[in-house]
Structure 1
Amino acid sequence: MKPRKSSSDGFIYCYGNLYSLLFYWGLVTFRVRTQSDGGAASSPVSVLYAVCVRCFAVCGYLGSVLIKLEDERMAAAMIGHLTPVVKVIIMWECLSSSITYVENFLTLDVQRRRHVKLLANMQGFDLDISEEFPSVRWNYQRTRSKYWYGTVIVTICFFSFSLSLILNMARCTCGLSSTLLMAGTYTLLTSSLGLVGFVHIAIMDFVRLRLRLIQKLLHQEYEGSTGRDRPQTTVHRRIAKLFQFTKRCSHLLAELNAVFGFAAAAGFFYEFSLMTCFVYVICQKVLGSEAWDLEYTFMLLHVTLHSYKLIITSTYGYLLKREKRNCLRLLGLYSQHFPQQPLARSQVEDFQHWRMHNRQAALIGSSIQLSVSTIFLVYNGMANYVIILVQLLFQQQQIKERQRELGRDVDIVGPMGPRTHLD
């Protein structure tokens, strides 16, 4: 039987592999280590590696696309059969995936110090809880299995769907090297965008589980307050510590928003634009009564994966908000369980004053709260744009049908000669 991981290396055990993927994908320039090994830190080698991966991903992808477009044979095979609107959509996907990848790693680089500080605070949080409440037993194995294996499965899906989409879209055996380069770099770009989102989800869940733990500990202290096995001073001291831990969770949430807020916003915009474009292309295929192609199947699978990420991120944001609300409400009942203690009433009043000025919630960007309503916000905008594009498609089809009818009703014989009424 494997030994249980202690709280000193529990964070590394749970999230170390995710941050290793972030490093190997070139999104961060530091490696995550335990506090005894110096914590998360960058080195000249790690920075050089990250820069090389970023240059390879962006330059390789855009360069392979340009090679395809400059060669007449490869360009005709890949996009020659597409309508002008679909060509614009494909080009927009090329630019948006590259721009979002650049925006993600630039955002994480700008917030690197706060990111490292956030990781150190998360590692120290579990240590402090274990010191104050020795009865807490951390189930790190379950947390690691949930995030690591889930991320591996989704990453494999991203890889397979992205590779299949590009290889099928090339439609040509010529230029095999450029096709493989484009498929590999596009897969790297899209999977890295999803990876940032899943790390964001993992840290949100970290804060959510700690808030739930604080609630359980509060219930124990409230229920044991009437017993005589512990002195009242110990109970009040532990509850005061739980007040501090709640404030620390709120601080972790604020730091999480500062580090991942704009990266999450960039990811949401990319998913919104990708789903809008791909859904329109699929609608065009269906409305045109054309034969179904594997290319559209891979597009549909891409939309499904990005929809899954959007729903999961919004759901965890809602769950975190709910757990924080329940925790704050339970802390507000402290004075009711100890009505004869002026210290309890004073501490609750101070806490309510702090709560008025600290209303942190999981955010994307700087102001949009992550909740179930975020799903409606994205899908409502996507549906509006798709409806507009489909209406334009119907108008285009009607114009083509009128031109065909005009061609059938009018016979153009040829140019008229120089005749007058005398003839």
Structure 2
Amino acid sequence: MSGGNRQVFSSVVESVAARTDPDIDVSNIHDDRRSSGSKASTSNSEDDSPHVPVLLDEVLSTFQGRPMRIFVDGTLGAGGHSAAVLTQHPNMQLLIGIDKDPVAHSIAQKRLEQAKSDTHSSVTLRHVLGDFRGMKGYLDQAEGGAAAGAVSAILLDLGMSSMQVDTAERGFSFAQDGPLDMRMGPSAVASAEEIVNSWSEADLGRIFREYGEERAWRRIASKIVEVREQKPIRTTLQLAAAIGFQGRSRRTTPRRPGTKQIHPATRVFQALRIAVNDELGALEMAIPDAIESLEPGGRLAIISFHSLEDRAVKWAFLRAAGRATPEEEEHGPRWQMAGLDGASGNRPAIGQILTKRPVLAQEQEAARNPRSRSAKLRVLEKL
């Protein structure tokens, strides 16, 4: 990312963080070993929490009754999952929270300190401002390398947090107007605005087809190029208008009986967000490294929110468990999870799958938090 783009991103997140908590300095969030409590509430209610963690009971059940010396939350967010896991395991020695969003760290920091104070825990809280694709490197450095290969549990919640979606300045949603940004952190190579206005029609079509699974990818890519030749597309609503998605969808019936119709722009925005943040590339690197980082008996829990992610997680777990069929090996995700080659063919498995089918949100949670409806939890235990 260019220096100018970093400055723009920094100004956005600093303004958001200031509204969230004017006392938080987002410029230097890394390692926090303080044992004092904070005024922030750790309640998981929708009224008190800036982000309601999905499948929380299911995640806690996954880790319940197990040794928890080192816990890694690769997608820390507002700290809801981590605070609950810490409360469940107050004897935890080290909690590493990784997130590339400085605003997320600013919120999670107080939440975790409060959980630490409430449980009288002596846990070391380490905040890492970065991408979970670098997890192995962070663990190699943590505690003089003692954390590498010794992690008790790892959680990856791949969905966007509500605080990102609901903040217009971040540009993730077409429900409200805002700059066409979509960067989750300053490490992003380009903003959505740069991609929309500079990538070729062929490349735009490719990401809409592959990352958004959008059937009308050719028409949408062509329309964007046509509009941007007259005037650059700068905002979320300008993009929605440019691709012709104003008012009701042209689709008059749901895809399947009983399913809810989604807004046609949803897949385009999903594709752009994945491309901006290289989300599938990060997942490709993170899963093998996460399994390698676990101690024997350690568990990796991953929550996905769309079919691309879920297929990648499912296939990687099958491969780690030595259960990927030759057909699945051939037709698996195009990102080949090279780090799991040791578990393919006749080589021994390195993990066992604990979720025969993905765990879904219960009816009560789905009704209370609509964003949980598409969440899928899969769990692998290292052998």
Structure 1 and Structure 2 fold alike (TM over 0.5):
no
Higher Rg of the two aligned structures: 1
Using CA pairs under 8 Å that are at least 6 residues apart, name the structure with larger relative contact order, 1 or 2.
1
Give the helix-richer structure, 1 or 2. Answer: 1
Give the strand-richer structure, 1 or 2. Answer: 2
The normalised TM-score by structure 1 is 0.26
